[in-house]
Structure 1
Amino acid sequence: MVNFNGSLVSNTESKLTLENRGYKYGDALFETLKVVNGKIFFWEDHYFRLMASMRILRMDIPMNFTMEFLEAEILKTVEANNLIDSSARVRLNIDRGEGGKYLPSEDAEINFNIVTEFHDNPFYTIAADTTYIVDLYKDYFMAPGLLSGVKSNNKAIQVIGSIYAKENDFDNCLILNTNKSVIEALNGNLFLVKGDKIKTPPLEDGCLKGVMRKQVLEILSKDVNLFVEEASISPFELQKADELFVTNVIKGIVPITRYRKKSYGNEFAQKVVTKLNAKLRLTS
């Protein structure tokens, strides 16, 4: 079952029209959520990121788009798909409706739809023997700036980058901005560990304002023995790092095991995962 503007319908009944602006122009936003046993992980952070993104794209936010309303609609959809007592991956999509060319018509109304699927791991784990090989994706570059960090439906670089990774037997690729700084992975934020120094690219470089990125930064900020900074990362720093890892809400923390000729461990990432799961238990 799919939730379309509050109505639960079957997949076959939920088709968007050819005039939908999300389809025609990518005039849409989305949030990917992890829901476990009826609890949306980090829902408040997702919600405020969504509202901020709608304002950046100058979308008129409907009066009923409260945090409580959207949460209830998400859980209603999860329950309708018999996933309320398990783990689910949920996509909440917001589009600007229909009408207009590049300039939306004045009567275009905001739509939302929610789709769910089963997810097999309720908590975050790192398998000790898993390999995760990455390389740089250099065919196209992201423009630095906050607009690049909006989670919109315009994901051409991520799509063709993922195809490139598959064709070259990589598990993921790292994206560069037009200043040739490494800003993120195709599907998550990047963290670099070198001794007691932890770096992640700043939002101004064009990386996604990731919800899991925020959680990890909050966890790291509580350790007085670490020096944590949001600073640009050059490709040359990657091979000098002790660890590299990717973060997103669905998988949590994914350690990179190899970049070109350099191999990495995951000892630090394992410690962060332990603290992350402890944080979730405390807030559940």
Structure 2
Amino acid sequence: MSTPADELQTAVIIEDDPEIRHVLAEVLESSGFSTVSVGNGIDGVRAVLTYKPVLTTIDVHMPGIDGIEAAKRIRAQSDTFIIMLTGLADEADVIAGLGAGADDYLVKPFRPRELRARVEALLRRARTATEATAPAALPTQGSVGPSFPNARPATTSIPTTPVVDMPVIVDSTVERLGDGEWLAHRDLRLHPENRIALIGDEELDLTRTEFDLLATLLESKRRVRSKADLTLVLRGESYVTSYFVGDADKRAVEAHMTNLRRKLGESAANPRYIETVRGVGYRLTSEVI
């Protein structure tokens, strides 16, 4: 059954190739979106501010301002989910796109089914964060794809100062305070419900994905989480589905971790909060300083 026009959610497509714009519009419209397509970054930023879309796709390489700059300008003014599209499986492009505020990326040429799966994963995370409801079912192999008539982007409410006094954290991964549960490691504190992350008294400016990765690692304590594990977390899944966790997914996790570590003020070579377990994944560092 088709979705009533007044219930359709909007997706903005920023892509200079008209054939790819057409493919993107077909896939997203079949998934329950109304679409607005533009051919350059400047018009794309304007379209996002005008139509306030749930989802925005951005090509990295465009004339005028490129997709990285467009994503930065959009992220500064909008909470739309951003998927970057690039023709190069280049790690520098991936890190730059995710660092600009993108939530996910796809390498062209991509399969329509893969795009639908990525979109559903982003919207599932939004529903989980805002409504605490069970995740919607993924489309089966060969299906047209689900509709998302009730999807909304996750909203973050961050007060200027914490609403409770912070106790000194001493060798404790979880501290229960008056307004809920804070996860803590060394001088790093995170409140999953209020979406607040602090180092000492300084609030961190994290993207949705960086916050979710950090929360997962804090909850896991010293248990190693593989890149495949973390990919499923970002998709809102707790078990392997028919959608394969591929190299592109793992590179995306690596790029997000690089950006997260930069914001935490640490490096993989000298970690204070998150250490890499070579060939396996990531976990918290020891509490011993």
In the superposition, the TM-score normalised over structure 1's length comes to: 0.28
- Give 1 or 2: higher helix fraction: 2
Structure with bigger RCO (C-alpha 8 Å, 6+ apart): 1
The two structures have a TM-score, normalised by structure 2, of 0.28
